[in-house]
Amino acid sequence: MVQKLLNKVKELPASLHGSQVVDSILRPGSPFKKGYSDTPRNRSYVVMNNILYHLHPVKVKRHSVRLSYTLCLGGLSFFLFILLTITGIFLMFYYAPTAEAAYVDIQELSTSVAFGSLVRNMHRWGAHFMVLTVFLHMTRVFYHGAYKPPREFNWVVGVVLLLLTLLLSFTGYLLPWDQLALWAVTVGTNMASFVPVFGSQVKFTLLGSAVVSADTLLRWYVLHVLFFPFIIVIFMAVHFWRVRKDGGISGPL
């Protein structure tokens, strides 16, 4: 009896593999599907039939596959964004954007939350990485002359993405609510007050008050976790779409 049951359990993975349920989840051509064979047709299906992979075309030029061609900088920027989203959501569970709680929350995150310190560090260093990879991606694109017609507009979208990356990083800078955050943001927003004519208005809008305050913390928190991610995702979608659609020197990827 028991032996029979154990045998059933043992056979479970094999019988699941190829069952109607599993088969319905996997799209045709999935390497995890029963009876997958490495044929050109299936290789195409892997890309075409997957919601994430179909960002890519089925085939790419051999020279653009070389790691030294792109250094994966654009892809890594996107990946870091995803990593920052995941770690950021984790951090949001333990953080309240109020002047009283923010600093204490960050301290407790490092001391009494499992992996809290690691995730916070990953979020912080990952953000620095992302600023770097986006910037280097721009540099790489420039030196390849990949902004030339018909891809001019995607370069413009890219510059907007760089700006949004900087804004995301800068709004996050304030959130630990320590001396480093407070005064770096004070210095940063003081620069904004030098905008001609509207200087003080720009600064007031950014800060939600005359100087950095608890209102600023709430404002920058909302900008950091909702507004800028929302905007940057839209621009990223356009950016990736145009990478596929615009032809050019190295062609749509």
Partner 1 sequence: MAELPEHLLRRSAEAKAKALGISVEEAMAQLKGEAPPSPAPAPTPAPEPAAVATPEPAPAPVAVAVAGDPSKATAVRPVAPPVSGPEGVRTQRLLTVVKAKAIQQAKAEPQDKVNTWPHLMIIEFAALLAVTGILIVLSTILQAPLLEAANFNVTPNPSKAPWYFLGLQELLSYFDPAIAGVSVPLITGLFGLMAVPYIDKNPSTKPADRKVAIFLFTFFLMGSATLTMFGVFFRGPGFNFVYPWHDGIFFDDLKDWVHFENLGGH
Distance CA 74, CA 133 (A): 7
User: Is residue 146 at the binding interface for partner 1, with CB under 8 A as the rule?
Assistant: yes
Among 6, 12, 25, 58, binds partner 1 (CB under 8 A): 58
- Residue 163 binding partner 1, by CB under 8 A: yes
Query: 188 vs 208, which CB is nearer to partner 1?
Result: 188
Q: Mark 79-98 with x for binding to partner 1 (rule: CB under 8 A) and - for no binding.
A: xx--x---------------
State yes or no: residue 40 binds partner 1 (CB under 8 A): yes
d(CA 66, CA 191): 42
Q: How far apart are CA 253 and CA 247, in angstroms?
A: 9
- Which CB sits closer to partner 1, 23 or 43? 43
Residue 40 CA: distances (Å) to CA of 43, 160, 196, 247? 5, 38, 60, 24
**What's the Cα-to-Cα distance from 76 to each of 83, 179, 181, rounded to whole Å?**
10, 31, 27
Fill in the amino acid letter for 148. Answer: K
Q: Which of residues 59-78 bind partner 1 (CB under 8 A)?
A: 59-63, 65, 67, 72, 75-76
For residues 214-253, which are near partner 1 according to CB under 8 A? Answer: 249
Residue closer to partner 1 by CB (options 22, 86) is: 86
How many C-alpha atoms does 238 have within 13 Å on its Cβ side? Answer: 15
Q: Which is nearer to partner 1, 94 or 124 (CB)?
A: 124
Q: Give the residue, chosen from 91, 131, 223, 243, that forms a contact with partner 1 under the rule CB under 8 A.
A: 131
- Candidates 157, 129, 27, 146; CA nearest to 73 is 129
Could you say whether residue 108 binds partner 1 (CB under 8 A)? no
Which token pair is 147? 């902004």
Kindly state the number of chain residues that form the binding site for partner 1, as judged by CB under 8 A. 82
Per the listing, tokens 């939350």 go with 113
Out of 23, 108, 178, 246, which residue is the one contacting partner 1 (CB under 8 A)?
Answer: 178
